[in-house]
Amino acid sequence: MQVIPSIDLAGGRSRVVFWPGVAAGVGVPTDRPERIAERFVELGAKVIHVVDFDGALSGRPANLEAIGAIASRVAVPIQLAGGLEGADNVRLAFAAGATRVVLAMSVADDPALLADCLAVAGDWLAVGLDPRPERLAAFPWRRPSPPASVEQLVDELVARGVFRFVLSHGGAEPDVALLSRLAGTTSAEFLVAGGVSDLDGVRRLRDAGVAGIILGQALLSGALDFSQALEAAA
């Protein structure tokens, strides 16, 4: 299982200052996303996940310069989320240096838009889902009734050509049983975003069979050691 560092961007900077040595008073803190990404790649990261918070609010990529700065410093895939719902937005992300894109759950209700984005991104496209039943039910679906389950929604999207999903739990602990079912019955790749704050949590997701775990503040703050997380995920 991959351990994927995540950097949340706002105004071209990381929203969380990277200072893993804060407890010992060593190292130099930084909010420069390219420096943060470079350090994690040096430590063994194979993918960097980036969330464009400004883009998510505006509906259009807003931190492309920062993406370009990251791409100029690392030679691993950059997976970008936030404001990418549209073929032109995906093209902008790729032109800036992103190599993967994550679309919001709303694309599940817009087959034409999803098809346009898939035509640009192909296998480098993922859809972000919140798998909690109450969240699925509360989402403002335009269809007559909400999907009966996240499994049904995943099957629907896989049939349309989506083969990678980012499952976000809003900080809640991931449902390991659900993840095991999804990983065991679907050919798609599942990445879990957040909800883990210790090495036992990493091991639980590893044993569930997910492809990767995306960690932001836990890694950036030093609460979870990246090298130890890699060992736990192996």
Collapsed DSSP state (helix, strand, coil) of residue 75? coil
Residue 51 and residue 178: Cα distance in Å, rounded?
A: 25
Burial category of 133 from C-beta neighbours within 10 Å (exposed 0-12, middle 13-18, buried 19 and up):
middle
Written as six digits, the tokens of 114 are: 């999803």
In this prediction, residue 19 has a pLDDT band, given cuts at 50, 70 and 90, of confident
In this prediction, residue 21 has a pLDDT band, given cuts at 50, 70 and 90, of low
Cβ atoms of 81 and 48 within 8 Å: the answer is: no
Predicted local distance difference test score (pLDDT) of residue 214: 97
Residue 26 has pLDDT above 90, yes or no: no
Residue 71 has pLDDT above 80, yes or no: yes
What is the model's pTM? 0.94
Instruction: Write the pLDDT tens digit of every residue in 90-113.
Output: 999 999 999 999 999 999 999 999
Instruction: Write the pLDDT tens digit of every residue in 40-57.
Output: 999 999 999 999 999 999
Cβ atoms of 55 and 83 within 8 Å: the answer is: yes
Cβ atoms of 46 and 229 within 8 Å: the answer is: no
Predicted local distance difference test score (pLDDT) of residue 172: 78
Residue 163 has pLDDT above 90, yes or no: yes
Sign of CA dihedral 9, 16, 98, 192: negative
In this prediction, residue 197 has a pLDDT band, given cuts at 50, 70 and 90, of confident
Catalytic residues: 8, 130
Predicted local distance difference test score (pLDDT) of residue 159: 96
